[in-house]
């Protein structure tokens, strides 16, 4: 017969073994304010990417602890340790591409938008990134993004909420094309965009936000120019206030780089990727990106 103490120990061991749901690879497993599961699936290890986000990444499985109770018979229960986030593994930089159909990749023949060109340029620099977002588009393996066709700045702000919970380290933000195309309260459009920037910092305080001008728009270029000019001034004010924001000019794009008068062609997206990379390098030089 088992004693009361023995039964309690067995129950505790079994509870410990089964009460933690395994987090899948590349899922969140830790971070400041995080209250979810911390145990990665077999073959994964919980890696600290920053103070707010730890991620399950492929690695050596975590050794188990054996709890042994002895009575008239011996019962052995193995309990898997909860991994401790590692501070020695840097891991990929978490990047959120945020915007409308241009971010999604409409008009490009491969669906990759500027995201592949940016990732390729960073790979040349020896930088590893991981795109996040609820959307997927493009033939590149890492095709996650938060680009929504037809979305205005206010709508993009709403779409961003789920992805922002993953605490991106870098956000590439381009929004406003649909506000201009739909003539939606253009006087206040830059303010809506900077409000979205503030929302990003509230969700991920240590993030760096790269904010781009919108590319040419054949139906309303005068409004595009006005929006970009006023938005740049608003972003420069944030930079002067000490926020980790970088202005990324897409002025290299012309109407000849558009596939349909709105969305960039393959060549246009390459130019965009190069511009985003220049913004990244600028932020990196300031020590804002690891």
pLDDT tens digits, 98-150? 999 999 999 999 999 999 999 999 999 999 999 999 999 999 999 999 999 99
Report the distance separating Cα 268 and Cα 74, nearest Å: 70
pLDDT at 81 over 60: no
Look at residues 176, 156, 154 and name the one whose alpha carbon lies nearest to residue 224: 176
Which run of H or of E encompasses 117? helix 115-124
pTM of the model: 0.71
Mean pLDDT of 187-209: 98
User: What's the confidence (pLDDT) of residue 35?
Assistant: 75
Mean pLDDT of 199-220: 97
pLDDT at 284 over 70: yes
pLDDT at 173 over 50: yes
Contact between residue 267 and residue 226 where contact means Cβ atoms under 8 Å apart:
no
pLDDT at 96 over 90: yes
Query: For the segment 210-239, what is each residue's pLDDT rounded down to a tens digit?
Result: 999 999 999 899 999 999 999 999 999 999
Max Cα distance, the chain (Å): 87
For 188, which DSSP code? G
Residues 6 or more apart in contact with residue 103 via CB below 8 angstroms: 97, 113, 114, 115, 145, 146, 147, 172, 174
């Amino acid at each position: 017969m088992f004693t009361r103490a023995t039964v309690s120990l067995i129950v505790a061991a079994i509870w410990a073994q089964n009460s933690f749901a395994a987090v899948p690879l590349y899922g969140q497993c830790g971070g400041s304010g995080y209250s979810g599961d911390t145990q990665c699936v077999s073959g994964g290890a919980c890696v600290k990417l920053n103070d707010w986000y730890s991620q399950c990444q492929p690695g050596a499985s975590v050794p188990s602890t054996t709890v042994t109770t002895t009575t008239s018979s011996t019962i052995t229960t193995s309990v898997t340790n909860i991994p401790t986030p590692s501070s020695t593994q840097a891991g990929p930089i978490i990047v959120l591409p945020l915007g409308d159909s241009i971010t999604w990749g409409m008009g490009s023949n491969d669906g990759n938008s500027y995201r592949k060109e940016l990732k390729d340029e960073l790979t040349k620099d020896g930088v590893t990134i991981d795109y996040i977002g609820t959307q997927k588009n493009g033939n590149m393996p890492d095709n996650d993004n938060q680009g929504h066709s037809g979305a205005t700045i206010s709508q993009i702000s709403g779409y961003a909420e789920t992805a922002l919970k993953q605490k991106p380290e870098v956000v590439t933000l381009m929004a406003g094309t649909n506000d201009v195309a739909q003539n939606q309260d253009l006087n206040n459009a830059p303010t809506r965009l900077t409000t979205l920037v503030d929302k990003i910092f509230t969700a991920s305080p240590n993030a760096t936000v790269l904010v781009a001008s919108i590319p040419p728009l054949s139906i309303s270029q005068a409004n595009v120019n006005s929006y970009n000019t006023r938005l740049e001034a608003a972003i420069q004010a944030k930079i002067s206030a000490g926020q980790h924001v970088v202005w990324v000019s897409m002025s290299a794009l012309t109407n000849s780089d558009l596939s349909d008068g709105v969305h960039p062609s393959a060549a246009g997206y390459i130019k965009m990727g190069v511009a985003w990379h220049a913004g990244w390098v600028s932020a990196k030089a300031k020590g804002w990106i690891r």
